[in-house]
Amino acid sequence: MFSPEIVERALARFPRHRATHAPTALEPLPRLGASLGLDLTVKRDDCTGVAFGGNKVRQLEFYIGAAEARGADTILITGAVQSNFVRTAAAMARRAGMDIHVQLEERVPDIDDTHRRNGNVLLDHLFGATIHSFPVGEDEDAADASLEGIAETLRAEGRTPYIIGLAASTPPLGALGYVIGAMELVAQHDGDLPYDEIVVASGSAQTHCGILFGLRALGVQTPVRGICVRRAADIQQARVAKRLRDMAALTGLDLTIPDSDVRCFHDEREKGYGQMSAATHDAILRTAREEGLLLDPVYTGKVMAGTITLHERGELAGPRILYWHTGGQPALFAYAQAFDDRPTG
């Protein structure tokens, strides 16, 4: 366990492009909580301030900081067609005065024209991103290799590209943003978290790892549950465990988090990445109608659906839940058809 000053000093070694509107608010969800039988609080990281916000703003502070420190003039990133990371990276690159190339992977089957043009893709265009297509969606190493090829071409043109690497083989720089997020949460409660469990989406796992690492570094033992959006729980748990070891190496903080502390949940009703189950669809509508709060179809809707399922199965550590909202709402517009149950005529 470390003091906040030691953790801050460990993070201060990393260049950072500050952009996050923080601390983000903590708000109760009284009606949804009461109808579920939970004491629900939301941490509003959907409101982090840059280009519709979301968790990627905290993460990108460190990638853009590293790019600036290396004198880069162009950011390269790969992601799904409706990637929030890609959209936010485009905004952050522009904010730092850099050019932006994005590679969109075919990760979601049978997508329609709206999915290809609206939501985050529309925003990528607004930011003037150069868009490259990649035909596969589940080969991180191949996607990174393809990005390296684009970077090579840019170098030959005299540019200085910086690749935001997301594969588990790259240093988890983005997770540092969530160590800061965890410290922020602890400070918001004067060190004493009033939650039985924290729930958050677990994709690349940088958010999940950053929160877990940050809390444990400060000696806070609140369970953190990563709700899987892309991989089965056992595979994701192994990824999180590896990334936690990577974080200790990266930060120089000698912190070992036991595998038993890495908790992931994958609801078998959920289909693959970016595919919405009926449970997620219901969770999005319910949260919108009971609380006026928007969730997204790919991440936060699944987290709410997963939380409800865990609660129904009696598998939550207790009723006091912190739901860590990570944004993603622009994707709602790409999934318009799935919500189009309005009467016509």
Ligand X SMILES: Cc1ncc(COP(=O)(O)O)c(C=O)c1O
- Least distance (Å) between residue 174 CB and ligand X: 7
If binding is defined by CB under 6 A, does position 55 make contact with ligand X? yes
From candidates 65, 214, 274, 327, binder to ligand X by CB under 6 A: 327
Which lies closer to ligand X via its Cβ, residue 154 or residue 300?
A: 300
If binding is defined by CB under 6 A, does position 324 make contact with ligand X? no
Q: Which residue is nearest to ligand X (CB)?
A: 328
- Least distance (Å) between residue 132 CB and ligand X: 18
From candidates 204, 222, 236, 237, binder to ligand X by CB under 6 A: 204
Specify whether the CB–CB gap between 228 and 189 falls below 8 A: no
Neighbours of 259 (CB within 10 A): 10
Taken in order 274, 276, 281, 287, the sign of the CA dihedral is negative
From candidates 143, 150, 201, 308, binder to ligand X by CB under 6 A: 201
SS (H, E, C) 135-173: CCCCCHHHHHHHHHHHHHHHHHCCCCEEECCCCCCCCCC
Angle at 11 (CA atoms; ends 10, 14), nearest 5 degrees:
115
Whether 204 is catalytic is: no
- State how far the alpha carbon of 141 is from the alpha carbons of 100, 107, 152, 166, in Å: 21, 14, 16, 9
- Please tell me the number of Cα atoms within 13 Å of 171 on its side-chain side: 12
For tokens 């502390």, the residue is 261
Which lies closer to ligand X via its Cβ, residue 41 or residue 202?
A: 202
Q: What token pair was written down for 316?
A: 């939550």
Which lies closer to ligand X via its Cβ, residue 165 or residue 203?
A: 203
If binding is defined by CB under 6 A, does position 208 make contact with ligand X? yes
Mask: binding to ligand X, 268-297, rule CB under 6 A, as x and -? ----------------------------x-
Which lies closer to ligand X via its Cβ, residue 161 or residue 327?
A: 327
If binding is defined by CB under 6 A, does position 84 make contact with ligand X? yes
If binding is defined by CB under 6 A, does position 177 make contact with ligand X? no
**Catalytically annotated residue among 3, 35, 83, 204:** 83
- State how far the alpha carbon of 336 is from the alpha carbons of 43, 188, 258, in Å: 26, 36, 42
Q: Which helix (H) or strand (E) holds 234?
A: helix 233-251
- Least distance (Å) between residue 272 CB and ligand X: 15
* CB neighbour list of residue 337: distance below 8 Å, 6 or more residues apart: 112, 114
Which lies closer to ligand X via its Cβ, residue 222 or residue 326?
A: 326
Which lies closer to ligand X via its Cβ, residue 154 or residue 199?
A: 199
From candidates 183, 328, 330, 333, binder to ligand X by CB under 6 A: 328
List active site positions.
83
Binding site for ligand X (CB under 6 A): 54-56, 84-85, 201-208, 296, 299, 326-328
